[in-house]
Amino acid sequence: MASVSATCCKLGSSLKLPRGSSQSSGKLSSLKMVSVSRFPSLQSSRFFICCSAKPETVDKVCEIVRNQLALPPESPLTPDSKFAALGADSLDTVEIVMALEDAFNISVEEESSQNITSVQEAADMIEKLVEKKTEAA
């Protein structure tokens, strides 16, 4: 399954333009429209669009991961960084999730925590849980 990442997205037959944007300019704020026909491999594949977490959430997750794994400040850490590639084992991953729960005041279900393998996945999950918590309040 192919994956396409976007900062924000709306799926459907119509796309509402942000205030102040011009349809005739071909631009939608910071979004860039790309036709799937330009990517033949995606035409026959099923794919999904993932809305990426806010940069401040990703930065905080990076800080927590860096602290939990005792990574030096100069070691590269990006949203695409996989915990295993950073040297984390399953116990380290559990500790990262617990630190994220404390930092963001959320509760992560065990089955959800097993699907978190990268900084971006953690940040996306956090934003979903924070949004659900806000809606429930």
| Residues designated catalytic | 89
Tokens of 21: 């944007």
Closest by CA to 54, choosing from 106, 112, 122, 134, is: 122
User: Is residue 108 within 8 Å of 125, Cβ to Cβ?
Assistant: yes
> Please, is 119 exposed, middle or buried when counting C-beta atoms within 10 Å of its C-beta (0-12, 13-18, 19+)?
buried
Closest by CA to 69, choosing from 54, 53, 52, 82, is: 82
